[in-house]
Amino acid sequence: MLEQNDRNAVQRDLSAHRYLLHATPMSAPNAIAPDDIRARFSRAMSEMYRQEVPQYGVLLDLVADVNALALEDSPALKSKLARSGELDRLEVERHGAIRLGTATELATMRRIFAVMGMSPVGYYDLSVAGVPVHSTAFRPISDEALLHNPFRAFTSLLRLELVDDPELRAEAARILSQRNIFIDRVLELVDQFERGDGFTSREADEFVAEVREIFRWKTEAAVSEDVYHRLHEAHRLIADVVSFKGPHINHLTPRTLDIDAAQREMTKRGIVAKDVIEGPPPRRHPILLRQTSFKALKEEVAFADDRGQVSGTHTARFGEIEQRGMALTRKGRALYDELLATVREPDGAGGSGQDYAARLQRVFEAFPDDLTVIRERGLAFFRYTLTEAGRAAANALTDPFELDQCIADGHVAADPLVYEDFLPVSAAGIFQSNLGGAEQKSYHANSARRVFETALGAEVIDEFDLYEATERRSIDALRAQLQVAAAR
């Protein structure tokens, strides 16, 4: 008989499965798979952003060089990444970020991302860090889809209710209500996908090209210079969302294996990097996510005015690099949050300079940096697989088996699951440092998850449930292997 925890786990698995069926309708037999559409879109976005922001191309070259050195210096790391399948996806791994203005935009974007096999995972309330948005991460959720292409889109919805000035709030709402960021052909293709008809290769390319245009940088503002400055005074991010005709992608992020080396290399290559790497300090076994970036670019724009177009500037888009560590359990995440809270400054999203880095390193000594201890204390999620020795001894192993004993005997390998999501405080720190560090709004705690999900038209998936399910499947696979061996 299943224990209550097991019944809950099965229910979560069924819920996630139902969501996948809802988000990804059955397609025609020869249709292009959502994973392949996502891979095409990821490539197209990277090519576009390289053209729009030349320093992004410098970042890609830099990350490739750093990763090559990291793999050369650590055969064990290379072996681990190859065993988990991460080595093949490393070169193409990206995440992007967009900001939307209305519930309709968010709900439609959910449908668009579903075509690419991407589901909304996690709820992020950035208002607590002075950023008037709440967000989710659209990403693939199955192990196979993540290995195929792990493209993610951190998607934020503006919260106009946090704008204090009622007249400005009403004007911003009016401006947003008059814009349409989606062309009819994109919506026709989404309808076709949702009917289960699928895409031919040509239609998939057409879909990718048209969706990419939604995120392209457009230099013509949708507001006058005066309105822009009033929105800017309320918050830089409000101006970025409301003032333009579309949700231009504001950064695209490659994954590095050594973010500290990447940070040093940015300086060597003439890129002005952030003072502090966001997230946990350097560790032998990285946890969650660490990220850094170069400062946002000042770009020329043309404001709409009664006198015609007026030249001005806008600052929003930047370049970012990330290093992904292991996914923490709820217990591990609680410890992380507790430690981070003690080191952060009370009036800001983060700190700066060597003093902050030293305090961070000192405080996080309380978080174990030994994989055995981390696993035994239940602080992170792991994937369990039979080793060569385990396969050779499979006939001698019993079911039910003692997992800890199998690991101690070298019959089972325990590899941490890679963290596939984002840090709300870390993301807010990136927002603040690139949109003007001196500007610190305070919205206190204004979490509105149900409001966000209503706008989204779906519930967001709990990321912890996904990691728990992945870990459990690996244990179930071990049991199945042992049962096959015992039946011989």
CATH of 4-486, one of 1.10.540.10, 3.10.180.80, 3.40.50.2300, 3.40.50.150: 3.10.180.80
Domain ranges in the chain are: 4-486
**Is 438 a residue whose pLDDT tops 50?**
no
* Angle between the N-to-C axes of helices 103-115 and 449-456, in degrees from 0 to 180, rounded to the nearest 10: 60
Q: Do 127 and 133 contact (CB within 8 A), yes or no?
A: yes
**Is 432 a residue whose pLDDT tops 60?**
no
The pLDDT, as a whole number, for residue 126 is: 87
**Largest pairwise CA distance in the chain:** 85
When pLDDT is cut at 50, 70 and 90, the band that residue 488 belongs to is low
Q: Which of 218-227, 317-326, 389-398 has the lowest mean pLDDT?
A: 389-398
**Is 279 a residue whose pLDDT tops 70?**
yes
**Is 341 a residue whose pLDDT tops 90?**
no
**Is 12 a residue whose pLDDT tops 70?**
no
Q: Cα(297)–Cα(282) distance, rounded to whole angstroms?
A: 28
Q: Cα(421)–Cα(251) distance, rounded to whole angstroms?
A: 16
When pLDDT is cut at 50, 70 and 90, the band that residue 485 belongs to is low
The rounded radius of gyration (Å) of the Cα atoms in the chain is: 23
Q: Cα(241)–Cα(222) distance, rounded to whole angstroms?
A: 10
Greater confidence, 27 or 348?
A: 27
When pLDDT is cut at 50, 70 and 90, the band that residue 487 belongs to is low
When pLDDT is cut at 50, 70 and 90, the band that residue 297 belongs to is confident
Percent of the chain having pLDDT more than 90?
Answer: 56
Q: How far lies 360's CA from each of 29, 213, 251, 309, 363, in Å?
A: 53, 41, 26, 48, 5
Q: Do 135 and 362 contact (CB within 8 A), yes or no?
A: no
The pLDDT, as a whole number, for residue 247 is: 93
- Strand ranges, E, within 376-418: 382-386, 412-416
Q: How far lies 199's CA from each of 76, 118, 146, 196, 448, in Å?
A: 41, 16, 21, 9, 36
Q: Cα(168)–Cα(393) distance, rounded to whole angstroms?
A: 71
**Is 46 a residue whose pLDDT tops 60?**
yes
Q: Which of 164-168, 200-204, 281-285, 316-320 has the lowest mean pLDDT?
A: 316-320
When pLDDT is cut at 50, 70 and 90, the band that residue 321 belongs to is very high
Encoded tokens for 10? 């099965």
The pLDDT, as a whole number, for residue 459 is: 95
Q: Is the dihedral of CA 336, 339, 342, 343 positive or negative?
A: negative
State which of 21-35, 138-152, 265-279 shows the largest mean pLDDT: 138-152
Q: Is the dihedral of CA 89, 13, 38, 150 positive or negative?
A: negative
Q: Cα(96)–Cα(118) distance, rounded to whole angstroms?
A: 13
- Distance of alpha carbon 72 from its chain centroid, rounded? 27
Q: Which of 413, 415, 412 is nearest to 382 (CA)?
A: 415
The pLDDT, as a whole number, for residue 22 is: 44
3-state class (DSSP) for residue 153: strand
List pLDDT tens digits, range 73-125. 999 888 888 887 888 888 889 999 999 999 999 999 999 999 999 999 999 98
The pLDDT, as a whole number, for residue 439 is: 47
The pLDDT, as a whole number, for residue 316 is: 78
**Is 427 a residue whose pLDDT tops 80?**
no
The pLDDT, as a whole number, for residue 441 is: 52
Q: Cα(442)–Cα(162) distance, rounded to whole angstroms?
A: 10
When pLDDT is cut at 50, 70 and 90, the band that residue 274 belongs to is confident
The number of C-alpha atoms within 13 Å of 329 and in the hemisphere containing its C-beta is 14
The pLDDT, as a whole number, for residue 9 is: 43
The pLDDT, as a whole number, for residue 446 is: 54
3-state helix vs strand vs coil in the chain, percent to 5: 50, 15, 30
The pLDDT, as a whole number, for residue 307 is: 72
Greater confidence, 461 or 278?
A: 461
For 164, which DSSP code?
S
Greater confidence, 260 or 296?
A: 260
Q: Do 443 and 128 contact (CB within 8 A), yes or no?
A: yes
